Structure 1
Amino acid sequence: MREAAFVKQNKNKWLKFENELQNYKTIAPEIISALYLEITDDLSYAKTFYSGSNTVAYLNQIASSAHQKIYSNKKESGNAFYNFYVKDFPLFFYKHQRQLLLSFLIFSTFVIVGIFSAASDGTFVRAILGDGYVNMTLENISNNDPMAVYKKMGQIDMFLGITINNIKVSLMAYTLGIIGGLGTALVLMQNAIMLGSFQYFFYQNGLLWESARTIWIHGTIEISVIIVAGCAGLVLGKAILFPGTYTRLTSFIAGIKNGLKIVMSTIPFFIIAGFLEGFVTRITEMPDWLAILIITISLITILFYYVYYPIYLYKKQQPNAAEKLH
């Protein structure tokens, strides 16, 4: 589409949106948020096809003004915790689905690398997991209790230790995004290779199902939110490498804030994963159907919150935004 046609098609919408911003306090926050997403989508399109034009500068000015009013000046009503996790964050996260997909693809690729490496080199598993862990697990297998490692530590100590460690990994995946996302990719790679070699080790010993139905009770949420934390780091890395029409400093600051929001969203899930690992995974004698049920519910919850719900909220706001603009 030619720039003139693009401007003609959207000009009235942009002008009305500017007018709405003048009275934003009298309009429902979700309506303003939806309008803001429309403007940023138009800005993204303009930057792609009309880079450096007056249209880009104009839309950038509107988007910046809207961002300040929505995220800096508005007063939160009701429960801030509820608003963040149920309303604000999911709608905000809609814009970062590509980084989430990229994080997932990086992680999945290196899981396969871990499996292939463990299958190709008999010493690889020991190099990754350590001789101590491998020898302990082999001893547990010989004692007919291959998952005994989850029973050796006290429940509360294990819950707290695992939760804190997972949050540290999450923060590391996020903060290392400052290296253009390369540090984040490295954290994802390390954890993915470890997971791949870990699962192959149990497969090699004829215990793939036994390990999977036990480990993934907590691992479904734990691994999923590590991938989400990787998304936060990639968001930060993208803000540094591709500032668009913003100054690199402005884009960098926005990237820090956006990535931090994503990391904050993972904390409740890491607590749940820690609880499952500390109190539930150790029950290795539970029936298969119960383990499968817990794993299934965990997976559906993650996919709902980070994939389906953001898309649902975004699409839900579009008719309301359209009515308001027209």
Structure 2
Amino acid sequence: MREVTFLRKNADKWKHFESLLSRKNKKNDPDELAELYIELNNDLAYTQANYPGSKTEDYLNQLSLRVHDEIYSSKKEGFSRFISFWKDELPLLYAKKQKELLYSLVLFLLAVSIGVISSANEPSFVRMIMGDSYVNMTISNIEDGDPLAVYKKASEMDMFFAITFNNIRVSFLAFAFGLLTSLGTGLIMLRNGVMVGTFLHFFYKYDLLADAMLVIFIHGTLELSAIVIAGAAGMVLGNGVLFPGTYSRKDAFIRSAKEGLKMVIGLVPIFIAAGFLESFVTRYTGMPLWLSLFVIISSLFIIVYYFSIYPIKLKAKHAAS
């Protein structure tokens, strides 16, 4: 390849690298810097082999050194790294994945609709999805005047650990099934959404839907949101396998796996908060209406703000800096 052709082919990429290094607010993603350093070294090695002593070699050598210095100057461990992860790195990643979050939400709501419609048209569907023992127990609780007594039976701490572990398990399954492409994640989302729709229709049939939602969504707002976000992480993983773009399939897979795993790690506080609410708060089924609404609306606001509004605002701020 002629040197001028090589320059034209890579000029835009190198300019992008320079812009990252010259930003006023230098809070670059360490993973992105590492990938940048690898690419530059590959270009430099090619230049040294084909255009030794050229200005291109000198330019790439200097640029590579700048990236190297940036990587090692940004390796600040400890509390500041922890803060920057939650304040900048993770929200910027979510800003890039708004499309996947939307697709995951639409798929989940579609699955909920399937659960509702199936339950409405086939009375035995609820037992097939939720099991005879749960349905019989809930019917018995309804007859006793306490339809959501199931949340009061176990001790708070036992419930907290069991529920938190289950939420983590379901979310990691939704992510991990992305290894089977996005269809794998879609199956997990479909299963959970149908279950939710069936559950809601079951209480609707007994004219208890509003009462049930005011109790269940105290923890369910966070819990279901975590499933949707984990589904988006699975889609990121699956799309990396299916659509590598300009990367090799292996590099695209590694990149998408890192991004998806970070998205799931971002759900850890949600797992803990949802487990706490379900174990220690949801059991008080007779709490005032205003208090239930306060918890539900506050939870929804936190989810929408941190995973959508704040990331978009932060991305715009970084683009303008």
TM-score by length of 2: 0.81
Q: Quick one: structure 1 residues 71 and 86, their matched pair in 2 at CA, closer, same or farther if it must change by over 3 Å?
A: farther
Deviation, 1:212, is 0.4
Q: Quick one: structure 1 residues 28 and 208, their matched pair in 2 at CA, closer, same or farther if it must change by over 3 Å?
A: same
Deviation, 1:79, is 2.4
**Equivalent of residue 29 in structure 1, options 26, 31, 51:** 26
Q: Quick one: structure 1 residues 85 and 317, their matched pair in 2 at CA, closer, same or farther if it must change by over 3 Å?
A: same
- Separation of aligned partners in 2, 1:225 and 1:151: 24
CA contact (8 A) 2:108 2:193 kept: yes
**Which amino acid in structure 1 is aligned with residue 124 of structure 2?**
T
| Structure 2 portions without partners, runs of 5+ | 1-7, 37-59
- Separation of aligned partners in 2, 1:188 and 1:283: 29
Give runs of ≥4 in structure 1 deviating > 4 Å. Answer: 13-17, 68-73
Q: Does 1:292 align with 2:293?
A: yes
Deviation, 1:29, is 2.5
Partner of 2:176: 175
**Which amino acid in structure 1 is aligned with residue 276 of structure 2?**
F
- Separation of aligned partners in 2, 1:136 and 1:70: 64
Q: Does 1:274 align with 2:275?
A: yes
CA contact (8 A) 2:178 2:235 kept: yes
- Separation of aligned partners in 2, 1:133 and 1:248: 45
Q: CA RMSD in A?
A: 2.7
**Which amino acid in structure 2 is aligned with residue 211 of structure 1?**
A
- Separation of aligned partners in 2, 1:101 and 1:157: 34
Deviation, 1:82, is 1.6
Per-residue CA deviation, residues 116-169 of structure 1 (Å, 9 max, x unaligned), is 000000000010000000000000001100010000000010011000000011
| Structure 1 portions without partners, runs of 5+ | 1-7, 41-60, 321-326
**Which amino acid in structure 1 is aligned with residue 185 of structure 2?**
T
- Separation of aligned partners in 2, 1:171 and 1:69: 34
- Separation of aligned partners in 2, 1:71 and 1:135: 62
- Separation of aligned partners in 2, 1:264 and 1:92: 12
**Which amino acid in structure 2 is aligned with residue 316 of structure 1?**
K
Q: Quick one: structure 1 residues 14 and 255, their matched pair in 2 at CA, closer, same or farther if it must change by over 3 Å?
A: closer
CA contact (8 A) 2:25 2:318 kept: no
Deviation, 1:19, is 3.6
Q: Quick one: structure 1 residues 19 and 71, their matched pair in 2 at CA, closer, same or farther if it must change by over 3 Å?
A: closer
Q: Quick one: structure 1 residues 212 and 70, their matched pair in 2 at CA, closer, same or farther if it must change by over 3 Å?
A: farther
- Separation of aligned partners in 1, 2:199 and 2:121: 14
Partner of 1:165: 166
The within-5 A match list for 1:208-247 is 208-247=209-248
- Separation of aligned partners in 1, 2:142 and 2:205: 12
Q: What is the identity percentage for the equivalent residue pairs of Structure 1 and Structure 2?
A: 43
Partner of 1:146: 147
Partner of 2:306: 305
Q: Quick one: structure 1 residues 131 and 87, their matched pair in 2 at CA, closer, same or farther if it must change by over 3 Å?
A: same
- Separation of aligned partners in 1, 2:216 and 2:70: 40
Partner of 2:76: 76
Deviation, 1:211, is 0.4
Matched residue SS, 1:79: helix
Per-residue CA deviation, residues 303-322 of structure 1 (Å, 9 max, x unaligned), is 001110110000111221xx
- Separation of aligned partners in 1, 2:122 and 2:310: 42
- Separation of aligned partners in 1, 2:267 and 2:127: 31
Matched residue SS, 2:157: helix
Partner of 1:116: 117
Q: How many residues get paired?
A: 280
- Separation of aligned partners in 1, 2:294 and 2:237: 35
